[in-house]
Amino acid sequence: MNPTTLRRTLGLSLLALGVAQAHLALAATATPATGNAVEARVSSILDNMSTSEKINFTRVDDGHMIPKLTKWGIQGTVAYDSSMGVHVNNATFGAQYPSQSALAATWSINRAKEFGQAIAYETRISGGQQMLSPGVNLYRTPYGGRSAEYLSGEDPFLGAVLAPAVVNGIQVQGIQASGKHFLANEQEANRQAVNVHVDERTLRELYLPGFESMVKNANVASIMCGFNKVNDDYACENHHLITDVLKGEWGYQGMVISDFNAIHDAFKGAWAGTDIDMPSGLQFTEANLMPLLWSGQLTQNVIDDKVKRNLRGIVSYDLQENLNTAQTLEHTEYGAKAALDTAREAIVLLRNENTSAGAPLLPLAKSAKVAVIGDWALEAPGSPFGTANSPPNSYVTELSGLQQLASSSSNVTYLPALSLNPKASVWYQPSTGQNSISNSGVKAEYYANTSFSGDPALTRVEPGVNLNWTTSTNVTDAGTTTVSGFTPTAGAFSARFTATIKPTVSGPQIFKVRADGPYKLWVNDELVLQSDGVAYSSDVVNALVTSAKTSALTAGKSYSVKLEYQRTAGNFTPALGGLAGVQMSWSALKPPADLANYDAVVVAVGTNYENEGEGSDHGFDLPDQQADLITAVAKANPNTIVVMHGGGVSNMQPWANKVGASLQAWLPGQQGGQALAEILYGKVNPSGKLPVTIDKKIEDNASYASYPDPAQYRGTNALTDMTYSEGLYLGYRAYDKNNTKPLYPFGFGLSYTTFAYSDMKLSSNVLTPGATVNVKFTVTNTGSKAGFETAQLYVQPVNPAVARPEKELKGFTKVYLKPGQSKTVSIPLDSRSLAYYVDNTDSWNVDAGKYKIRVGTSSADLSLSQTLTTLYAEQLTTRDSNPLPAPLQKAVQVSASQRY
C-alpha cells in the first residue's frame, strides 16, 4: 500500500468514527452538531487534503455555496436567496412572506421564530441547504434600496433580539442561515465602490450588535461580507472586522462568505479572513494563492483555517451522507400561516381621526360603501427587484381582501380611472374613436434601428403598451397577445406608439412610462416625459420608471399621445423583478365628483420592484404623483384612508394631517390583502410599531448632512465616499439630541383600544457586576377591544461621563390583553445594557452612577421611570459580554422539538 493510499485509508477510518459520533449528536439534538465529534471528523479530512484541494475548497464557480470535495463524498451545498421567499430557478418556492422590515415592525420574537422555521422548511423541501438571510444592516436613510431585507430598523437592539430568533428558527430545521451584509451596507447607490467612513465606537454600538448577537446567541452558520468598503478596505478584505472582531473577539467558528464576487484582491481577501469566494471563484484560485504560499506572504494555517470552517459547516449539519434533495411541497400551510401572522402584527396604524359622526374612522363597518384607488390594491403583493424579488404563487390582493370581508362585495368599488396600470389603460384608435376595449388600441411602428429611420419593419395595432421582450407578450385587459412578425431580441431597435385618449374626469392626467431604454412621451405635442435610459446601477439592471402630470385636460375631449422608445444592446438582461420591455399607462389625477358619496376611500400607495431593490437607492417622495393624488382625494372625501407600502417609509407631506387615517403596511406578503382587510374592518386590532422614525421632511433625517441625494452616487462622476457624520445619533437618537419632533416617532403605533402603564418596580435599585435587574410593571387594557401592546424600555444615563445618546432602547416585551385585563410583565437589564464602547481599551464600560429606566408605548411616550444605580465602574470584554441579557438569550432559542 503506497503512502497516499495509507493516508486516505486512515483518514476514512477516522471519518467513519466521526460520522457515527456526529449522527449520534444529531439524533440527540435535531440541531447542528458541535464538539469533539465534529472537530475529529473535520481534522481527519483536512489532514489528508493536498494544498491544491484545500485552495479549491475555498472557492465555488458551479452553483454551490460550500464547494464540492468529491474525494471525500462531499457534494457541495446549495444556497437560496430568501428574505421574502425561497428563490428556485427564478421562481418562488413556497410562500411569499412580508418584508424583513415588516417583521421588525411586529417587535415579536415569536413571529421571528415562526418566519425562520417556515422559510427554512421550504428551503429544505426545495433541496437547498443554506439560505442567505437574515439581514441586519440598519435603516440609516429612507433612500435605502434594500431596506425591505433588513430586520433591525434603525435600532441595533431590535435587530440583536429578532435576528438570532430568526436564525435559530432556520437552523433548527437543519438549514444554514447567513447573516448579512457585514458591514455598514446601509446604501445601495454605488455599492460596489462606496467607501464608508465610520468611527469605531459607532460601529460597535450601532452597526455590529446585530451580527454579534447572531454569533453569540444563534451560532449562525455563516456571515456574508458586503460589497462596500469600510474605512478604506473592502468589507470582504477587512482584516480588522473579520479576523480581529468577528473571529477573534467574538470567537466565531463559522464561515465568512463573500457577497457575489465581492473580493477584489486574492491576498487581501484571504488574509482578512473571508473563507469562500463565491459565486465565480475569481480570486481564490490556485494561480493566485499558490505563489502567495510559496513566497510566504500567506502561511498555510491561513488556508487551513478556511478549509476547517467550511468543513465544519458540512459536518456539523450532517450534509455529507444526508444531503436533502428537492421534494414536493406538501405543507404550504406553514408558510401561509407565518406570512399571515406576520402581516397582521406588522401593519402600523399611524393616524385614526374622528369622522363627522364623532367616532374614529377605523374600524370600518362591513356595510360601509368603500372606494379603492391604486394599482397596489389591485395587483399581486409586491417585493423589491433583485435577490429579494419573490412573486407570490398564491395571494390575496388588498381589493379582494376588502371585498371578502365586506357584508357584500358590491360595497367595495375599485376606481380604475384613478389607478395607473399598463394592462388597464384604455386607448382609442384615432380612426374609430370608440371607447370599448375591443376597438381600442395603440398604433405601433417598430424600426430595425434606434433612430426611427426609414420605413418601419412592422406596423400593427397593439391593445396597449405592456410589452415584455423576455416572454414576447403584451398583457392587457383585452387578453395576452404574442409579439410576432418582429424579433426585438435580435438586436437594437426603436418603436413609436401613437394613440388617442379621452379623459373621463377633467383636470391634469398622470402619465407613466417604464422601459429598459431611452424614451420620450408627448401629449398633444407637448413633451411630458423623457429618460436617457441609463440604468442607475451597472451590476443590477432595472428598467427606469418616470411619471409626470399634464396640464388640465377636458373630459370627453380627444388628445393625442406619442411615445418614442429606443432599445440599445446592453440592457437586455434585467434583474429579478426588472423589465425587459416597455410599459405606458395613464390615469386621472382629480377624483370624480361622486367620490364624496362613499363612506370611505382607501388609497393604496408606495413602492415595489419598480422603484426599490438592489443596486440603487430611491427618493423619499412617493412615486408617480401619488402625494398629489392623495391630496386631491382627501379634499374630495375627508374619510380617506392611506395605506403606505414599501421596504421603508416615504414622505407623507403635505397630506399627512389631512387624511382620516393612515397605515404603514410595508411589503405585506401573500396574505397582506387579508391582513389589511381584517384590520380595516376591525377583525384584527392593529399592533405594529414603527421600527424606524418617520421624518416630517428629509432634511430632518440624521443622515441627510452626509447623504442628501442618491443621484450623487450614480453615473460617470459618482461619489465614492460616504461619511457617517451623524455617528451615534441615528434615528430617534438624533431627534432627542436636537430636541425636535418627527412626524411619527420610533416605536409608535396606534391601536383600537387603549393601554395604561403602572406599578413599575426594579428587582434591585442597584446593579452589581454580573447581576441582572428585572424591571417589572403592569400593563392594563383600558379600552373595549382585545389586542397586543409592545412595551418598550429605554435607558437614559444621568450626567454621563462621555457623550452618549439621551436614551437607548434596551428592552421590550409584547403582551396580549383582553378588555380590562392587566398583566405584570418583566424586562431584564444587565451591565451591557448600560455600557458604551471604549476604543483604547477595547471594552464595554459601565460608569458608576445613576441611570433612568424609562418605560412606555414609544420612544416619545415613556410614562414610567425609575432610577437604577451602579456603585462600581466595570469593564466588560468584547468576547464575553453579550448584547442580550441572559433571559433574552434563552428567549430567542428554538427547541428541537419544534422542527417541522
CA dist 97 and 115 (Å) reads: 8
Q: Where are the domains of the chain?
A: 333-419+592-731, 437-582, 753-898
DSSP string, 47-62: TT--HHHHHHTTB--S
Cβ atoms 722, 195 nearer than 8 A: yes
Beta strands at 721-723 and 195-197: parallel, antiparallel or unpaired: parallel
Per-residue pLDDT at 469: 87
Rounded CA-CA distance 242/256 in Å is 8
Cell of 878: 468584547
- CATH superfamily, domain at 753-898: Immunoglobulins (2.60.40.10)
What residue ranges of the chain have pLDDT lower than 70? 1-31, 428-440, 485-490, 569-573
Question: What do you get for the CA distance between the two ends of the chain, in Å?
Answer: 48
Nine-digit cell string for 520 = 420620450
pLDDT value at residue 402:
98
Residue 197 forms beta bridges with which residues? 723
| 101 sits in which H/E element | helix 100-106
Write the DSSP symbol of residue 206. Answer: I
Question: Residues 94, 128: contact at Cβ < 8 Å?
Answer: no
Q: So what's the pLDDT on residue 615?
A: 94
Q: What is the pLDDT of residue 320?
A: 84
In whole angstroms, give the CA distance from residue 384 to residue 615: 11
- 3-state secondary structure at position 780: strand
Q: Is 362 left (phi over 0), alpha (psi -120 to 50) or beta?
A: beta
pLDDT of 441 reads 84
Nearest to 370 by CA among 406, 397, 337, 344: 406
Nearest to 496, CA basis, from 535, 455, 533, 452: 452
CA distance 888 to 447: 65
Give the architecture (CATH level 2) of 333-419+592-731.
3-Layer(aba) Sandwich (3.40)
Residue with cell 468529491: 70
| Inter-axis angle of helices 672-680 and 398-405, nearest 10 | 50
pTM, whole model, 2 decimals?
Answer: 0.95
Query: Which residues on adjacent β-strands are paired with residue 586?
Result: 511
Cα–Cα dist 624/628, whole Å: 9
Interhelix angle 300-316/36-46, rounded to 10 degrees, is 130
* Fold matches, 333-419+592-731 and 437-582: no
Kindly write down the DSSP assignment for every residue of 496-523, as one continuous string: EEEEEE--SS-B-EEEEEEESS-EEEEE
pLDDT at residue number 429: 55
Fold of the domain built from segment(s) 437-582 = Jelly Rolls (2.60.120)
